[in-house]
Amino acid sequence: MSEERDVHHGHDHDHDHAHGPLHNHPPLQPDDTSAPGRYELMVLAMKELLIEKGVLTADQVRRGFETLDSWDPGRGAAIVARAWTDPAFKKKLLSDGNAAVAEFGIDMGEAKLTVVENTEKVQNVAVCTLCSCYPRAVLGLPPDWYRSKNYRSRIVIEPRKVLKEFGTEVPDDMTVRVHDSLADLRYLILPRRPAGTEGWTAEQLASIVTRDCMVGVANPQVPRNA
Amino acid sequence: MTGPFSPGDKVRVARTHPPGHRRTPYYVRGKTGTIERVCGEFPNPEELAYGFDGLPRKRLYRVRFRQKEVWPNYTGADGDTVDVDIYEHWLRAV
Amino acid sequence: MEPDNTKFTSAKEPGRGYHDLGGLSAGPVDPAVTTAKPWEKLSVVLGNALGSKGKKVICTDETRRTREEMGVELYNKLGYFEKGIESMRAILTEKGVLDDAEIERRMAAIEKRIREQGR
């Protein structure tokens, strides 16, 4: 764990304001001179009060930012790349997602990571129509469009049309399967490995697995100059 | 009957619109689907939402619905489905 | 009678919460992605910390419920993280962990601080 480094500001600050590049909690934002909105003020107020009342500690908040920063779609991409090249791992991933990703040091917490596989017959796509549940530990925070009313409304009733808006056309002889994750299961789509990737390294494979591929609105593309 | 169900069983979702926190979406209520898998047992979120312990645990099922049965005007392929995680007390045997 | 799923709106259907969106008519999906601001990330961090194993002050189901209770106007007006903060405020005050008056007082103090000293 990195050491706290105190930098003199000329005024009191509780120590979870960042002082340097080693700290991932809210950095000083001298460039942001916009007036804070109501909800920025509200969350800052709640944080301060919760710490003062001993409900949370500043250290928990700091560590929480580190955890949040570790949530990244690169993790999901590495998992997919491994599943593409290691049949035993793929089998484990499909039957017990939490145990499989624990091999990458990823803790899913109370969520049950449920991995569904795209095949030549089935295109899977995930949503949470009631809020925006999402496998954040392996994909990062959900993108704006996933959280949007338009996606949540339309993906269950006209998935092929929505996928087309993302540039993904699914032929009629394939099945589109929408997964509405409304309980403790969090869905990760395992996309199909495209042709033209034979002999690729894990890093090369991971580089074509975008976040959108793991939600199911896109499929991995081999760049033309690959 | 509200189960227990096994994969392959046909089930119908209760057509009821109770107030309060529910995790069975409006669009599947009253619809018929098939148990795709048993997901496990979890404390009831409808109770957890109000500070209760949600016990005893309820069984959670993944229910697969044919899109053409859910939406009268569905224009995609016949085989298209929507899979939804639904708690046992919302499901009836068909 | 079969519910007609092709022409409803959440405001008019009895029993459909305003958050229960599956199947409603809506516009194109905007693919633009924005990066969460520090205060938005803080809302996620607080939510996680308050609901963490071994230290459950609130749980996700409670904040989902308060999100569904804030009223359709706020729900439609607020952004995603703002809704999260609003629902967190609602459950924390409901449970007596914080009260609205102290939150508002602190918000005013922070606004003054930021105005005078920057973020």
pLDDT tens digits for A200-220? 999 999 999 999 999 999 999
pLDDT in tens, C65-84: 999 999 999 999 999 999 99
Which chain B residues have a beta carbon less than 8 Å from that of C23? 26-27, 70-71
Position A27 scores a pLDDT of: 56
Q: Look up the ipTM and state it.
A: 0.97
**Band (A28; pLDDT cuts 50, 70, 90):** low
Q: Helices marked H in C1-119 — which ranges?
A: 38-50, 60-69, 72-77, 80-94, 100-117
Please judge whether C3 and B30 are an interchain contact, meaning their C-beta atoms are less than 8 angstroms apart.
yes
Percent of all residues in chain C with a pLDDT value above 70, rounded to a whole number:
87
Residues 6+ apart with CB under 8 A from A21: none
Q: Which two tokens stand for residue A159?
A: 């998935």
C3 has pLDDT over 90: no
Which chain C residues have a beta carbon less than 8 Å from that of B29? 3
C26: phi > 0 → left, psi -120 to 50 → alpha, else beta; which?
A: beta
Pairing of strands A175-180, B58-66: unpaired
Query: For the domain A72-215, what is the CATH code?
Result: 3.90.330.10
Determine contact: C15 vs chain A, CB below 8 A: no
Please judge whether A180 and B25 are an interchain contact, meaning their C-beta atoms are less than 8 angstroms apart.
yes
3-class DSSP state of B27: helix
Whether residue A213 lies in the annotated active site: no
**Band (A26; pLDDT cuts 50, 70, 90):** low
Position A224 scores a pLDDT of: 83
Touching partners of A (3+ C-beta pairs < 8 Å): B, C
pLDDT in tens, A85-116: 999 999 999 999 999 999 999 999 889 999 99
> What predicted TM-score, i.e. pTM, was given to this entire model?
0.90
> Which of the following is catalytic: A2, A131, A148, A153?
A131
Give chain B's domains with CATH numbers: 10-16+25-40+59-93 (2.30.30.50)
pLDDT in tens, C27-66: 999 999 999 999 999 999 999 999 986 678 999 999 999 9
A3 has pLDDT over 80: no
Burial label for C74, CB within 10 Å (0-12, 13-18, 19+), is middle
Max alpha carbon distance in chain C (Å)? 63
- Find residues 33-72 of chain A whose CB sits inside 8 Å of chain C: 33, 35-36, 38-50, 53, 55-56, 60-61, 64-65, 67-68
Higher pLDDT, C102 or A17: C102
**Band (B66; pLDDT cuts 50, 70, 90):** very high
Please judge whether A180 and B80 are an interchain contact, meaning their C-beta atoms are less than 8 angstroms apart.
no
Chain B residues within 8 Å of chain C (Cβ atoms)? 15, 17-18, 20-22, 25-27, 29-30, 45, 48-51, 54, 70-73
